[in-house]
Every structure is written in C-alpha cells, then in structure tokens.
C-alpha cells in the first residue's frame, strides 16, 4: 500500500555570478495517488511532468518540500530506512556492476537489505527463474543487452521480496517480447499467487497503461490532473480512444490551470 | 556492520577483477622502483671500475717525459688520446677527460715558465666530469712534488709551502652515505600508494555515478555510513596492498644489485620493509579518503581524473621540498602528509632513530584527514546520486 498526498518539490537552479537569482523550477506542484495491495497503478504523463521526481521522493532520495509519503503506513521522510525496506525500486538509473555476475549483483543488494548470504543466493535463483534469467545468472553483466540489464536490475530491486514495487519507466529501451515478458511478470506479482504486491509504475506509453493497469493517475506539469480506471477516464472525457482521452486530460487541464 | 563488510567485500572483488588497471598499476608503481635501483647500481658499478682502472688519457705525452714518469710512479697507465677526442667527449662516446700537453712543455717546466696544461672535459658528459676531478688532483700532486723538490734543492723545508694541513673526517655513517643513493626509494613507494588508491577511489565514487549504480545503491536501507566506510576501507586496502608489494619488491631487487658498495650500503631488510609499510598504511587511508571526497563531486570518471590531478601533483611534488630545501628537516614537515612520510622513511633508511613525535604527528594528521574525507563523502553521497 503506497499513499502519496499533495507532494511538492521545487529546485533552485545553480546561481550564476553577477546575475539575479533564477526562478526556482517547480518540478512537482501537487501530486497525489494511492495504490492498494494487489493493485497495479500507472503514473502516466508526458516527459517532464514530474513522474521521476515524484518517484525519487517516494524512494527517499529527495526530500519533498511538502506533502506526505507513506509505504504500508510508514512515513518515508520520518523513517526512510524502514520505508525503503518495504519497497523495491527500479529507478531511472539502473546501472549494474559490469565486473560482477548477474547473481553477484543481485546478491549484493540482498546483503545490503540485511539478508543472510544463503537466503539472498536462493532468492536470486528464484527471481532468475521467474524473470527467465537462468542462463545469464553466472555471466558478468558487461555484455548484457538492454533487456537483460533491465531484468537483472528488476531482480536486484525485488531481492528482498518487498510488498511494494515502484518502477520508473520500466519498458524504456525494451523490445516487444521483453516488454511482454515484463508485463506478464508484473501481472503475476500483483495476483495473490505472486504475493499480491502493490505496484506503481510510471510511463508515458498509453498501451502499457491500457493493457496492465488497474487504475491510472495522470500527471501533467507537476500536478495530478486525473485519476481512475481506464474505462472511467474514457467515460469522463467521452472519448473512445485512450490516447485522445489522455491528450484531453493532460494538456487541456494543464492549459487551463 | 554486516552491511559494511558486504560493501567492502563487493568492492574488493570488483577492484581485483579490474585486471587491466591493476596490472598497469603493478608494473608502473611496483616494478619501477626496483628497476631504477638496478639501473643506478649498474651505473655506479661502472664509475667504480673506472676509478679502479687508474688510466689517464693524455694528448701529446711525448712532450712531457717528467710528467709521464710521475704518472707511472703513481701506477697510472698513460693512454694516448684519440685525435677527435673533443668530438667524442661532446657526444659522450669517450668516458675519460683528456689532458692536453702543449709543445715545449718539458723545456718550459725546466725553466720554471709555468707551462699550461689543458684538461678537456664536457660538463654534459657525466663520466668524464667524474674523471676530471681525479686527473686534476693527479696533476696537482705532480705540481706539488715539483715545487717541493725545487724548495728542497734550495734548503727550504717543504712545510713552508703547506703551512696548514687539512685532513678530512667524514661524519656520515655508512648508511647515511648510501641513503644519498637510495633517497628516491621513499619517493617510489609514496607514488605506489598514491596510484594504488587513485583508480579504486575514482571507480568507487565517480565511476559509480557514471554507471548509474549509485542511485539504486542509496535506495537500499543500508546506512550511508556503512556504505561509505565499506568503500573507503576497500580503497585503502587496495592502496595498502600496492604499498606492501612495492616495499617488498625492493627486497629481491637487492640481489640483482651490481655494485658491491651499493649492495653493502643499501640496507633494506625485512625490518625496514615492515617499518615502511607501517608508515605508509595510515597515508594510504588518508589519501583514499581525500581522493574519494574529491571524486564523489564529479559526475564522470574523466572529470574526477582532472580534479584529482591537483592532489596527485601535490603529493608527488611535496617530497621534493627536501631536495630543494637545503636546511634539512624542519618541524613543519611532519604536519604535511606525504612529506612527513618521506621524512620518516628517509630517516629509517639512514638508520637514524625515529622519535615518538615523528610517528605520532603524521599518524594523527592522517587519521584526521581520513575522518574528514569519509565524512565529506557521506554528506555529499545523496546529492551526488540525484544530480
């Protein structure tokens, strides 16, 4: 269960000498969403809408200026370590250690999560089986393809079997088959058999949302402009095409705001 | 604590798998010192055989039978100079200075006309320069003998000419004489420590940023202090390992020394190696922390290399202070890292005692620097991950 309420964050651009102080960049103005367990929530928005910044605040990397973030009821700002332990985050930056094998990469994160080594090893094998990584597991990640890297990074984020999963544009750079495999994996994780995880992912691709999400939150210009299921959003905008609905919601709302 | 060891273990494995960098560091910092030592010893051996040769190269010895007689009495062999000796000297092809005897030397000598002898050498030709001093002393001996004889004929005691006698007494112990030759040894091990730390420190900080693995790392609940401490210990270990290898590499190098004197004088045994390592390990810790603190602020490995070049230059230039500064050790030297270690190690090589404050001050400085560096890295880690 992830709750985000009225999140705001602005950045100060670096000051230049002998120039007036620049205006702050308001990356996130007012973002709210709630994702219950066993639910997949899509954070849909155009580039630069504040999705990545919001997710970084959720992961405890940036302190929000205002708003409340809670993971299973644990406040991220007040008790970040506890909150992080309840989350598996696949962030925008998904660098692996090229001189370590995929297994070592995954196990390292398990150890950082405080797992005993043999439990982490067993979990790495389990995740590799689920994500179809088995043949790559003991190879160094140096020559991995985009999809292979993404799978390894995902396994790394899930090593401690978190109840909440946060993914920032997970399908970036993946081909159709890899995207499909990822979608299958996420859907499985959200079912009771897969652990009934709460999954939040950001994307700018409509089809992802249409095919996978239980609910959608549309973010534009740092604000939540609409929320609901795909069907309810279509109904609200009286459109039949989700892309049209998205354009109407994201751009018209932002224009009037 | 457990997480710190996990980070440490991972970083050590990562650093040791970077074979290519490791080999370059090993070759450049571990093998270079001994190699230079061996070359030096070869050169020294050459000087020694030259001194033992007792040869003097003269052009026109036929004009000076008396001088030739004197040389031979001093058990020197007289060799005729080649015709193009000036050119050969200039090109360092001739390793002996040439004494040029003019026509009519013998007659001028008999008449007391102060004939002029020319000693031809080239100050760019090291070996000939060394020989020039020897030949000059030889000729001065000849002149003194002639003068003494002339005075004796007139019934004057030879002491009149030399009312004062000078006897040299060398205070330098055998070890301190050798240390003139081995002064570069501390310099080489300092470089080894520095370059050992460099790559690991940059890869662990700026490299991690560049790869995009720092952000996920900080999204784990591992405390930042544990992550930074583990990383720092790993860099310091790699650097200390290189330092140990570099110190130990001088031990086998001694067997290859070609100069007997140098071999007798160069005292670098297991004890010295141990003392060197004990001196260098705190420095390795401090340098690792400083390099990491510099590099974490850089976005890419390349940027970090540029930023750290200032530190690299300082550390490699500081020991030169002792070369330029003729006044010897100054108290402030102990407060400057690298310079302090250089001073202490030079003392050890000379076989001089190292008082307590010489151990304590550099150690304290290194501890403080390490702490500051690690704290600075921990503080800027999160900002570094995001931007």
Question: Of A67-76, B9-18, B50-59, B76-85, which range is least confident?
Answer: B50-59
- Kindly report, residue by residue over B52-92, the tens digit of the pLDDT: 678 888 888 888 888 888 888 888 888 888 888 888 888 88
Closest in A85, A90, A108 to B221, CB measured: A85
As beta bridge partners, residue A126 has: none
CA distance B220 to chain A (A): 6
- Give me the pLDDT at residue A110, please: 94
- Give me the pLDDT at residue A217, please: 92
Residue range B110-123: average pLDDT? 86
B201 in the same domain as B77: no
- Give me the pLDDT at residue A78, please: 92
B363 in the same domain as B261: yes
Distance, in Å, from the CA atom of B363 to the CA atom of B369, rounded to the nearest integer, reads: 10
Examine the pLDDT at A66 and tell me if it is beyond 70: yes
Cβ–Cβ below 8 Å for B219 and A89: yes
Give the domains, in start order, of chain A with CATH numbers: 2-13+21-86+163-256 (3.40.50.300), 95-161 (no CATH)
- Kindly report, residue by residue over A145-182, the tens digit of the pLDDT: 888 898 899 999 999 999 999 999 888 878 888 888 88
Average pLDDT of the residues of chain A: 88
Do residues B349 and B268 lie in contact, with contact meaning Cβ atoms separated by under 8 Å?
yes
Neighbours of B261 (CB within 10 A): 17
Examine the pLDDT at B235 and tell me if it is beyond 90: yes
On whether residue B341 sits in a domain, the answer given is: yes
Do residues A40 and A199 lie in contact, with contact meaning Cβ atoms separated by under 8 Å?
yes
Token pair, residue B314, equals 């300082």
CA distance A183 to chain B (A): 22
Q: Show which residues on chain B lie within 8 Å of chain A, measured between beta carbons.
A: 2-3, 6-7, 10, 13-14, 17-18, 208, 211-223, 227, 382, 385-386
**Quick one: which H or E segment has residue A94?**
none
Mark which of B136, B169, B202 sits at the end of a domain.
Answer: B169
Mark which of B137, B169, B201 sits at the end of a domain.
Answer: B169
Structural domains counted in chain B = 2
Contact residues on chain A for B206, CB-CB shorter than 8 A: none
B277 in the same domain as B149: no
B75 in the same domain as B110: yes
Do residues B216 and A91 lie in contact, with contact meaning Cβ atoms separated by under 8 Å?
yes
Closest in A61, A85, A157 to B385, CB measured: A61
B19 in the same domain as B128: no
A108 Cβ under 8 Å from any chain B Cβ: yes
B31 in the same domain as B94: no
Mark which of B169, B200, B230 sits at the end of a domain.
Answer: B169
- Which residue is listed with tokens 């088959």? A177
- Residue-by-residue DSSP string for A219-239: EETTEEEEEE-HHHHHHHHT-
Contact residues on chain A for B212, CB-CB shorter than 8 A: 93-95
Residue range A13-17: average pLDDT? 77
Quick one: three-class SS letters along chain B? Answer: CHHHHHHHHHHHHHHHHCHHHHHHHHHHHHHHHHHHHHHHHHHHHHHHHHHHHCEEEEECHHHCHHHHHHHHHCCCEEEECCCCHHHHHHCCCCCCCEEECCCCHHHHHHHCCCCCCEEECCCCCHHHHHHHHHHHHHHHHHHHHHHHHHHHHCCCCHHHCCCCCCCCCCCCCHHHHHHHHHCHHHHHHHHHHHHHHHHHHHHHHHHHHHHCCHHHHHCCCCCHHHHHHHHHHHHHHHHHHHHHHHHHHHHHHHHCCCCHHHHHHCCCCHHHHHHHHHHHHHHHHHHHHHHHHHHCCCCCHHHHHHHHHHHHHHHHHHHHHHHHCCCCCCHHHHHCCCHHHHHHHHHHHHCCCCCHHHHHHHHHHHHHHHHHHHHHHHHHHHHHHHC
**Quick one: which H or E segment has residue A10?**
strand A2-11
- Give me the pLDDT at residue A257, please: 41
ipTM summary value: 0.88
Do residues A142 and A149 lie in contact, with contact meaning Cβ atoms separated by under 8 Å?
no
On whether residue B47 sits in a domain, the answer given is: no
The range of the structural domain enclosing residue B123 comes to: 54-169
**Whole-number percent of chain B with pLDDT over 90:** 17
Phi-psi region of B328 (alpha: psi -120 to 50; beta: other; left: phi over 0): left
B216 in the same domain as B70: no
- Give me the pLDDT at residue B91, please: 84
Interface-testing mutation among B17, B216, B382, with chain A (most A C-beta atoms within 10 A): B216
A61 Cβ under 8 Å from any chain B Cβ: yes
Contact residues on chain B for A53, CB-CB shorter than 8 A: none
- Kindly report, residue by residue over A194-252, the tens digit of the pLDDT: 889 999 999 888 888 888 899 999 999 889 988 888 888 888 888 888 888 888 888 87
A162 Cβ under 8 Å from any chain B Cβ: no
Please report, for residues A91, A106, B18, the alpha-carbon distance to residue A98 in angstroms, rounded to integers and kept in the order given.
18, 12, 10
End-to-end CA distance of chain B: 28
A175 Cβ under 8 Å from any chain B Cβ: no
B304 in the same domain as B188: yes
A114 Cβ under 8 Å from any chain B Cβ: yes
On whether residue B49 sits in a domain, the answer given is: no
User: Which is more confidently placed, B179 or B40?
Assistant: B40
B150 in the same domain as B59: yes
Query: Comparing C-alpha atoms, which of B135, B95, B94, B143 is closest to residue B118?
Result: B135
CA distance B216 to chain A (A): 7
- Give me the pLDDT at residue A13, please: 80
B90: domain CATH number is 3.40.1710
B181 in the same domain as B70: no
Do residues B186 and B345 lie in contact, with contact meaning Cβ atoms separated by under 8 Å?
yes
Chains A, B: CB contacts within 8 A come to 84
CB burial of residue A62 (10 Å; 0-12, 13-18, 19+) = buried
Query: Comparing C-alpha atoms, which of B385, B10, B9 is closest to residue B224?
Result: B385
B150 in the same domain as B294: no
Contacts of A70 (CB under 8 A, 6+ apart): A2, A3, A4, A76, A83
Closest in B3, B211, B214 to A111, CB measured: B3
A74 Cβ under 8 Å from any chain B Cβ: no
Token pair, residue B249, equals 């590499």
Residue range A65-73: average pLDDT? 92
Question: Of A71-85, B108-122, B310-324, which range is least confident?
Answer: B310-324
What is residue A164's DSSP assignment?
E
Contact residues on chain B for A91, CB-CB shorter than 8 A: 215-216, 219
- Nearest-Cα residue of chain B relative to residue A140: B17
Do residues B281 and B233 lie in contact, with contact meaning Cβ atoms separated by under 8 Å?
no
B182 in the same domain as B147: no
On whether residue B48 sits in a domain, the answer given is: no
Model confidence at B373, pLDDT cuts 50, 70, 90, reads very high
- Kindly report, residue by residue over B161-194, the tens digit of the pLDDT: 777 777 777 665 555 555 566 677 788 888 888 8
Question: Of A37-46, B358-367, B378-387, which range is least confident?
Answer: B378-387
């Amino acid at each position: 269960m992830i709750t985000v309420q009225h999140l705001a964050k602005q950045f100060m651009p670096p000051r230049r000498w002998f120039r007036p102080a620049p205006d702050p960049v308001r990356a996130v103005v007012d973002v709210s969403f709630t994702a219950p367990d066993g639910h997949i929530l899509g954070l849909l928005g155009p580039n630069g809408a504040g999705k990545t910044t919001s997710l970084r605040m959720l992961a405890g990397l940036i302190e929000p200026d205002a708003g409340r973030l809670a993971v299973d009821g644990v406040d991220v700002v007040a008790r970040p370590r506890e909150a992080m332990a309840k989350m598996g985050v696949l962030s925008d930056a998904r660098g692996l250690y090229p001189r370590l094998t995929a297994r070592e990469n995954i196990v390292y994160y398990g150890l950082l999560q405080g797992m005993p080594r043999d439990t982490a090893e067993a979990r790495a094998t389990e995740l590799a089986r689920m994500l179809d990584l088995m043949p790559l597991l003991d190879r160094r990640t140096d020559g991995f393809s985009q999809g292979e890297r993404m799978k390894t990074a995902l396994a790394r984020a899930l090593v401690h079997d978190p109840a909440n999963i946060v993914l920032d544009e997970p399908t970036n750079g993946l081909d159709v088959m890899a995207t499909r495999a990822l979608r299958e994996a996420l859907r499985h994780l959200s079912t009771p058999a897969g652990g009934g995880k709460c999954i939040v992912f950001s994307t700018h691709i409509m089809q992802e949302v249409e095919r996978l999400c239980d609910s959608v939150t549309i973010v534009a210009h740092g604000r939540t402009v609409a929320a609901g299921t795909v069907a309810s959003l279509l109904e609200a905008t009286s459109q039949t095409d989700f892309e049209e609905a998205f354009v109407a919601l994201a751009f018209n709302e932002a224009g009037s705001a | 604590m457990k997480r710190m060891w996990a980070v440490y273990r991972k970083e050590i494995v990562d650093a040791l798998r970077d074979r290519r960098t490791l080999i370059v560091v090993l070759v450049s910092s571990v093998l270079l010192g001994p190699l230079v030592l061996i070359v030096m010893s070869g050169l020294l051996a050459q000087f020694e055989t030259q001194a033992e040769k007792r040869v003097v190269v003269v052009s026109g010895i036929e004009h000076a039978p008396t001088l030739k007689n004197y040389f031979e009495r001093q058990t020197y062999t007289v060799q005729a100079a080649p015709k193009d000796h000036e050119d050969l000297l200039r090109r360092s092809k001739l390793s002996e200075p040439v004494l040029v005897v003019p026509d009519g030397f013998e007659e001028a000598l008999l008449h007391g006309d102060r004939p002029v002898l020319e000693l031809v050498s080239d100050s760019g030709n090291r070996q000939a320069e060394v020989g020039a001093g020897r030949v000059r002393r030889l000729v001065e001996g000849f002149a003194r003998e002639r003068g003494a004889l002339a005075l004796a004929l007139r019934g004057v005691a030879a002491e009149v000419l030399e009312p004062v006698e000078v006897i040299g007494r060398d205070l330098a112990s055998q070890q301190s004489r050798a240390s003139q030759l081995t002064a570069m040894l501390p310099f080489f091990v300092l470089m080894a420590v520095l370059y050992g730390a460099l790559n690991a420190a940059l890869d662990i900080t700026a490299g991690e940023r560049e790869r995009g693995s720092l952000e996920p790392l900080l999204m784990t609940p591992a405390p930042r202090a544990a992550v930074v401490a583990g990383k720092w210990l790993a860099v310091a270990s790699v650097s200390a390992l290189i330092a140990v290898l570099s110190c130990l590499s001088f031990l086998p190098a001694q067997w290859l020394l070609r100069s007997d004197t140098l071999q007798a004088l160069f005292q670098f045994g297991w004890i010295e190696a141990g003392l060197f390592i004990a001196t260098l390990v705190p420095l390795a810790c401090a340098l690792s922390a400083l390099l990491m603190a510099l590099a974490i602020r850089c976005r890419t490995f390349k940027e970090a290399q540029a930023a750290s070049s200032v530190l690299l230059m300082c550390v490699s230039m500081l020991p030169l202070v002792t070369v330029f500064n003729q006044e010897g050790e100054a108290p402030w030297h102990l407060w400057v890292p690298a310079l302090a270690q250089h001073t202490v190690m030079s003392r050890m090589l000379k076989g001089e005692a190292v008082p307590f404050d010489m151990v304590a001050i550099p150690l304290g400085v290194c501890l403080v620097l390490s702490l500051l560096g690690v704290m600075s890295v921990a503080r800027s880690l999160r900002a570094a991950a995001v931007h």
